[in-house]
Amino acid sequence: MKLQVSHSPHVRDKATTQSIMLDVIIALLPATIAGWYYFGIRAVLVTMVSVASCVIFEYLSRRVMKRNNTISDLSAVVTGLLLAMNLPVSIPIYMVVIGAAFAIVVVKQMFGGIGNNFVNPAIAARIFLVIAFPKAMTSWVVRVGEWYSLKSVDAVSSATPLTQIKAPDAPSLWKLFIGDKAGCIGEVCILALLIGAVYLMVRHVIRPWIPMAYIGTFFLLVFFFGHSNVFNFSGDLLTSQGWADLFHESLYMLLSGGLILGAFFMATDYVTSPLTTKGKLLFGMGCGILTFLIRYYGNMAEGVSFSIILMNILTPHIDDWTMGKPFGEVKENAKV
């Protein structure tokens, strides 16, 4: 009789890395499909190219490095999907491929593959593209006329809501919420993003601490220190319009740009966020503060990406600071 000998426990939970990644993909789909709806068939093309090139680069780099193949864990698909969601629809296709190569080869595989990258590959790639191709990465389009048009040159350039809050043709909050605005493929439809986020939380893939702290901190900062903040508010609080005005800027800032996408899907990236609840709250707060500072005082529109990547870098330290005491450990005999 041949018996298997292994260390306890002898039963395991069903969840695997692959099942978690699949959950993330499912959660990202509503927002992706909404992006396809708003930006037409070219958005589908950008998404497909991004996902396919991420998977291919993952396969190739593992092969070149003579390591076991990891494409079946679906993490490259998640990176590809996130990268596509962070790109404007008008981006030239070769740039998508370059971005995917940077995300997978440089950021992920050169640091040891899944679990070892110190920043989020999709965000790093987006920042890389913004710096390398600033023009292509910031030419935004609103609803191209022909849904099936694959050409990007016809696109009507437009400012993103972030840069036009003061303009008279700024979109309404409702339009921002359902996604009828300029922006990256995956970030526009807040409704779809929230559906995905709820799915992730129901499936226990993410915990709400990072998004809560991130969005909460950012909202409060805008509310108290934004351009038309609560202190210099001149409207009439006795009317509903007054209340709407009071919250307008904070809500506008929440719903525009990549904040919701970043807070729920990128700041919560396991590998690059802290382990403990306390650390997660700290991480989210840091992201919120940095996003506020960059959006209000910086000269780039990359608040969310930069703040998340900066906090990614701080994650090992946050883990250190928030380690906490074991169960039952009292102050006297806590080890230093």
Partner 1 sequence: MPLPLRSLHAFAGGVHPLGNKNTDVLPSIHLHGFKEVELLMQQHIGPPCTCVVKPGDHVDVGTLVGRADKPMSVPIHSSISGTVKEVHYVVSANGAPVEAVRIESDFNHTINPFCKPPKVESFEDFVQMIRDSGLVGLGGAAFPTYIKINPPKNKMPDTLIVNAAECEPYITADYRQICEHPDDIIDGILEVMKWLEIPKTIIGVEDNKPLVTRIFSHEIKKRIYKTGKHPDIEVRTLKTIYPQGAEKMLIYTLTGRKVPPGKLPIDVHTLVMNVSTLRFIGLYLKEGIPLTRKRMTLDGSALNTPGNFIVPIGARIQDIIEAAGGTREEPKKIIMGGAMMGVALDRIDHGIIKANNAILVFGSEETTLPPESPCIRCARCVNSCPMDLIPCGIDKATRLRDTEMLEKYHVMDCIECGCCTYACPSKRFLTQSIKNGKVMVRAERARIKKEQELLAASQQKGGSSPS
- Binding site residues, partner 1, CB under 8 A: 1, 3-13, 15-17, 19-20, 70, 73, 75, 112-116, 207, 270-271, 273, 275-276, 319, 323-330, 333, 335
Q: What contacts 295, CB < 8 A, 6 or more positions away?
A: 162, 253, 257, 301, 303
Q: How far is the CB of 150 from partner 1 (least distance, A)?
A: 36
Using the 8-state DSSP alphabet, how is residue 208 labeled?
Answer: T
Q: What are the phi and psi torsion angles at 69 (to 5°)?
A: -80, 140
Shortest distance, position 205 Cβ to partner 1, whole Å: 8
Pick the closer one to partner 1 by CB: 7 or 166. Answer: 7
Q: Toward partner 1, which CB reaches closer, 75 or 291? A: 75
Shortest Å distance, C-beta 173 to partner 1: 34
Residue closer to partner 1 (CB basis): 19 or 138? 19
Instruction: With beta carbons less than 8 A apart as the criterion, state whether 201 and 274 touch.
Output: no
Question: Which C-beta is closer to partner 1: that of 156 or that of 313?
Answer: 313
* Total residues belonging to the chain: 336
Q: How far is the CB of 322 from partner 1 (least distance, A)?
A: 10
Give the tokens for residue 79.
């990176």
Closest separation between CB of residue 19 and partner 1, Å?
A: 7
**Maximum distance among all alpha carbons in the chain?**
84
Distance between CA atoms of residues 214 and 110, nearest Å: 29
Q: Work out the number of other CB atoms within 10 angstroms of the CB of residue 197.
A: 23
Cβ-based nearer residue to partner 1, 151 or 325: 325
Neighbours of 142 (CB within 10 A): 18
